[in-house]
Amino acid sequence: MSKNRPVVEAIDVKKTYMLGKVPVEALRGVNLRVEAGDFVSILGPSGSGKSTMLNLIGALDKPTSGTLLIDGVDISKLNDNQLANLRLKIGFVFQFFNLIPRLNARDNVELAMSIANKGKSDRRKRAIELLETVGLKDRVNHKPAELSGGQQQRVAIARALANNPKFLLLDEPTGNVDSKTANEVISLIKKLNAEDNVSIIMVTHDQHLAREARRTVQMFDGEISQVVVNGQ
Ligand SMILES: Nc1ncnc2c1ncn2[C@@H]1O[C@H](COP(=O)(O)OP(=O)(O)OP(=O)(O)O)[C@@H](O)[C@H]1O
Ligand SMILES: [Mg+2]
């Protein structure tokens, strides 16, 4: 057992979708432990259960059976309201950046901050700090259309960090940018993990990208077929 606290712990997690009367077993008993400060990639072919796993880890859906603890909380015991609150502790980054087009970078980040947290001026200050962290200090007033793909994804990452999440959940974060820009995005993700100790879970079907993580969880047909520790 390792000393670090788990942010995600899955024990024999199964997920069966009902397609009319036909059951589709998307997850067939997954065991996974992700600790604070870890960087894990989830790799697997189409249909292997990656998005299903991501939805569960993101508290967007519940397992059919088994236990899934997110930040120590058993999600199957939560109601919709409690699940929504839990999601505030998770930073989501998607393939398509999902920024609000008419807002500049700073306002996109600021909008994500839970209002309860701080006053307006503190939120603004923090938004600018986060944009500085992702290397966009000189782009705070730019709207998404005035930014490159990689810059937009970095704004999305800054936004995902706005509420100090327990972990960042990334779904094909470089799926929509060219390879040079992808390198820039992955460098940032690695920096956040190494320097700021942000826990990272990244879903991808790109082997090269997956190897950038500390560990790669390989999925096949609804199961974890192997876990590879990547050499640095
Ligand atoms: N809502 C649903 N209803 C029925 N079956 C589903 C549903 N969502 C997913 N599935 C099935 O569950 C299995 C796992 O799907 P999932 O979306 O998790 O795969 P994936 O690994 O994310 O694939 P991809 O790389 O193509 O995104 C597939 O066989 C899929 O057809
Ligand atoms: Mg998928």
Q: Which residue from 13, 15, 16, 17 has its CB within 8 A of the most atoms of ligand 1, so it is best to mutate?
A: 17
Q: Write the residue with the smallest CA distance to atom 29 of ligand 1.
A: 47
pLDDT attached to residue 108: 95
* pLDDT at 115 exceeding the cut of 70: no
Q: Write the residue with the smallest CA distance to atom 6 of ligand 1.
A: 17
Please report, for residues 5, 77, 190, 195, the alpha-carbon distance to residue 74 in angstroms, rounded to integers and kept in the order given. Answer: 15, 6, 29, 30
Q: Which ligand is nearest to the CA of 52?
A: 1
Instruction: Report the range of poorest mean pLDDT among 23-32, 101-110, 173-182.
Output: 173-182
For residue range 153-188, what is the model confidence (pLDDT) as tens digits? Answer: 899 999 999 988 889 999 988 887 788 888 888 999
Domain count within the chain: 1
202 lines ligand 1 (CB under 6 A): no
Residue 67 forms part of a structural domain: no
Domain with 43 in it: what CATH number? 3.40.50.300
Average pLDDT of the residues in 91-111: 91
pLDDT attached to residue 180: 82
Residue 228 DSSP one-character state: E
Q: Write the residue with the smallest CA distance to atom 31 of ligand 1.
A: 47
Question: Rounded to whole angstroms, how far apart are CA atoms 225 and 113?
Answer: 38
Structural domain range at position 217: 37-62+77-229
Say what percent of the chain tops pLDDT 90: 69
Q: Does residue 210 contact residue 41 with C-beta atoms inside 8 Å?
A: yes
Helices (H), the chain: 50-57, 80-87, 105-112, 120-133, 149-160, 179-196, 207-210
Residue 30 forms part of a structural domain: no
For residue range 43-78, what is the model confidence (pLDDT) as tens digits? Answer: 999 999 999 999 999 999 999 999 999 999 999 999
Reported pTM: 0.90
52 C-alpha to ligand 1 centroid (Å): 6
Residue 171 DSSP one-character state: E
Residue 15 forms part of a structural domain: no
